Structure 1
């Protein structure tokens, strides 16, 4: 374990008022490409008093030194190796687990195995804590990883379903930007709800509920939904085999901001895959209202189109299979 003390103030305190910081955030997998980008942005968040970075690679020392050159008051800590993971978790109000993504050197199967082992280890370490922090999980297969985490925590009688989130913000912002691009609108002024799970066959963009509303024909709807579902692949192809790290890191930041606001006493809405049995799946994704106790409820929608109902039906089938796989994975280990 190693610590970087707070940097000396280089700017005149009479000229700048430092915002109050009050939350500790642990980034598990913080030395990865997504993790480093996320940590850079979290470093500048005014409500982060301590940024804790955990990973296995030795480069974490350099990552911390790099981050220390960003002039903020946030305290930095770094941990390397599984034996220090419990310390990285114990100090955190919010834990963000950044999963691996396939690239030129790592296949999808390898990433799945790596993410499964990471989340297993994380869940077992979380189960040893007296109080469960807010936990946000990323990485594929998310529909499997989140139920798996819940099952491990249940086995140790420390599970709080209101504090476990699979982060699906990337699906929402992709739908938002692609819908805006299709209609040549400002993406900041567009909202596209996304429900279901976090896989190509369970992501359900609700174009019928989009704002501003656009009366699109059937072919355009089918093409746009297919594009939203495969947008990650398109980025990987355009980057010559490298994964979409920047947009994913940004989406995790949006989620983290929502949770930090809730921890500070506010009420937020975050896109997440959480425990929800409204559709008989055990878990489901959507826009979740959160306060300082955790998830409160999920936004519901009515008057879905016939095609969206079809996608929902198919998506529910796939989510059920994934959730069951997540709950059984411990028996197969």
Structure 2
């Protein structure tokens, strides 16, 4: 079902006058809390010539109309329902899959996981039929399971381009950066903390030994800060009384999108992502990834990790291996 046809045609005509804008971005799950916030920010990005909002919810009509009242030259288009998903994907240079999130009241973690698996399966099957695969960023939990699952579907249907499939882990880096800065009473903009591993409490590894500016943490203080960074999402959910950290999540997806859009424009960008990588025998791994217009190039490596980080890395590798197997087994049981 095509949404707001006349409005879309009018907005599309306008975008021909803005040659600076050159990329089409599709937000799958655009009517969700995270999706709406993300679309609002993408609406004003100078490299986005067209923003596509896709969701199964009838409220997509209202979201699209709401976005149309933000006066920018970007074209808007909306789609509702499973039967229009292929159109939302084939028009895109970048697809951002925003998953459902448990809010502790209306959706359990189990139901959320099931919905996200169904969404990623549908996207992967549709992508496998396209002649050219767009860049794809998945921001849905359990990310360590869903990215390998999507990759496996694409492989089975001869539509696989591993360099273009990303699990978005930017939120982990932003949280580490913010908490590290707060601990030291420094400006967050002046801090950087690499994060590697997977995207879960048991697999995320903040590399405080590689942080800049460097702070010599040890003992109890080091363990407490690492634990706090890994528990960030739970902490926010507790304070928000069961609701998820939608604002920081939407911002983190925007940061990822900016990096990919920069790469599509001909540059080389770096994004935090969980991608196909067998450096640790897991098949997939997360870190800072260099990207060009063809997809992922290479992941940044680190040496001289602390004893704690080496221990966490071993545990993370075990957790990621189990999650990757879960992703593949879902297809075997289907």
Q: Distance in 1 between matches of 2:326 and 2:13?
A: 51
Aligned to 2:142: 141
Cα drift, residue 105 of structure 1: 1.0
For normalisation by structure 2, the TM-score amounts to 0.96
Q: Distance in 2 between matches of 1:59 and 1:127?
A: 28
Q: Distance in 1 between matches of 2:19 and 2:71?
A: 13
Aligned to 2:87: 87
- Alpha carbons 2:175, 2:232 under 8 Å: kept: yes
- SS of the equivalent of 2:145 reads helix
1:5 aligns with 2:9: yes
- Alpha carbons 2:12, 2:75 under 8 Å: kept: no
162-171 or 18-27: which moved more?
18-27
Structure 1 residues 8 and 167: CA distance shift in structure 2, 3 A:
closer
Q: Distance in 1 between matches of 2:13 and 2:268?
A: 33
Aligned to 1:245: 246
- Alpha carbons 1:174, 1:228 under 8 Å: kept: yes
- SS of the equivalent of 1:21 reads coil
Aligned to 1:14: none
1:179 aligns with 2:192: no
Aligned to 1:63: 63
Q: Distance in 1 between matches of 2:10 and 2:311?
A: 54
For structure 2, which runs of at least 5 residues remain unmatched after alignment?
Answer: none
Q: Distance in 2 between matches of 1:268 and 1:258?
A: 5
Aligned to 1:201: 202
- SS of the equivalent of 1:211 reads coil
Aligned to 2:266: 265
- Alpha carbons 2:11, 2:76 under 8 Å: kept: no
Structure 1 residues 171 and 9: CA distance shift in structure 2, 3 A:
same
Cα drift, residue 271 of structure 1: 0.0
- Alpha carbons 2:174, 2:252 under 8 Å: kept: yes
Q: Distance in 2 between matches of 1:324 and 1:180?
A: 36
For structure 1, which runs of at least 5 residues remain unmatched after alignment?
Answer: 11-16
Q: Distance in 1 between matches of 2:122 and 2:303?
A: 40
- Deviation sequence 1:46-87 (CA, Å, 0-9, x none): 000000011001000000000000011111010000000000
- SS of the equivalent of 2:205 reads strand
Q: Which runs of 4+ in 1 moved over 3 A?
A: 5-10
- Alpha carbons 2:177, 2:193 under 8 Å: kept: yes
- Alpha carbons 1:202, 1:316 under 8 Å: kept: yes
Aligned to 2:26: 26
- Alpha carbons 1:181, 1:187 under 8 Å: kept: yes
Cα drift, residue 328 of structure 1: 1.6
Cα drift, residue 252 of structure 1: 0.1
Structure 1 residues 19 and 170: CA distance shift in structure 2, 3 A:
farther
- Deviation sequence 1:214-235 (CA, Å, 0-9, x none): 0112211111111111111111
Aligned to 1:13: none
For normalisation by structure 1, the TM-score amounts to 0.96
Count of matched residue positions in the alignment of Structure 1 and Structure 2? 327
Cα drift, residue 197 of structure 1: 0.1
Aligned to 1:292: 293
- SS of the equivalent of 2:131 reads coil
Aligned to 1:276: 277
